[in-house]
Structure 1
């Protein structure tokens, strides 16, 4: 039997209650990728020791701030490093990450004003994974993954 390629997936997309609000972003299409791939759940914010639930965070001027003004950049960087370690350990060529997140967003993130406005940019973990040659897909792009690896 052929070994399935391992891919990283934001744990909230798999139904894990690790979202800042204490809930999840369960996505059945993402879960269905398990037919073709070995899904490795990650949550850089949990890896960083941030609580569930937690105050929402956004990126402004390259730093991550909680809505109450706390600078969480170092925690987000630590969580991103742990995600990268897992990616390297399991030889994952790609990751399916939660869109718009300050950790996992890729291409678009919230603008740091906590107003719901999005700007071009990448979350902390998504950027680190991308910089280390791991291909990033948001949950709306998973059709691109069919038979890719």
Structure 2
């Protein structure tokens, strides 16, 4: 049986990002995996009941998704609203779906306070990036799922081929 891959809905062309847009990842592997029925699509934030569009959110104080999971950091919107509970619910939903569907891998959009795995923003809403994971990416890693960013699709292809 071929391994399933949890994938960010925005990468599949769904207009679910905070700004109401998609960020489709056009790659032959995506089409192949789709045809093989290997892709399990989720927008963690939407699964937690968040609206589209919604204010941009970042993990406060240059913290990471692991810090949010540990209860030592918050996710806040540009408006100042605390959306930590929603992001934790989103991460729980994504991890539960991945387990239920038998996903061994996840392909997530980088930069997101939920799905970022290579980088996230520093919480100042100034566009400054930092290394780190979003809340969902951290939860998936903690659940033993290998997480790859949209910029790492070639690495995911190689990993699946092993």
Q: Tell me if TM exceeds 0.5.
A: yes
**TM-score normalized with structure 2 length:** 0.85
Give 1 or 2: higher helix fraction. 2
List per-residue Cα deviations over 1:51-90 (Å, max 9, x = no partner): 0000010001321000000000010000110000001001
Other-structure match for 2:100: 89
The structure 1 segments of at least 4 consecutive aligned residues displaced by more than 4 Å after TM superposition are: none
Between the aligned partners of 1:109 and 1:33, the Cα distance in structure 2 is 29
Structure 1 unaligned residues grouped into runs of 5+: none
Say whether 1:70 aligns with 2:68. Answer: no
8 Å contact from structure 1 (residues 99, 108) kept in 2: yes
- Displacement of 1:37 in angstroms is 6.2
Q: 2:118 is paired with a residue of what secondary structure?
A: strand
8 Å contact from structure 1 (residues 33, 39) kept in 2: no
**TM-score normalized with structure 1 length:** 0.92
Other-structure match for 1:148: 159
Q: 2:59 is paired with a residue of what secondary structure?
A: strand
Q: 1:41 is paired with a residue of what secondary structure?
A: strand
Between the aligned partners of 1:33 and 1:9, the Cα distance in structure 2 is 14
List per-residue Cα deviations over 1:66-125 (Å, max 9, x = no partner): 000000001000011000000100111110000010000013101111111001221000
Other-structure match for 1:60: 60
Say whether 1:80 aligns with 2:101. Answer: no
Other-structure match for 2:64: none
- Displacement of 1:6 in angstroms is 1.1
- Displacement of 1:146 in angstroms is 1.9
Other-structure match for 2:42: 42
Q: Report how many residues are paired.
A: 147
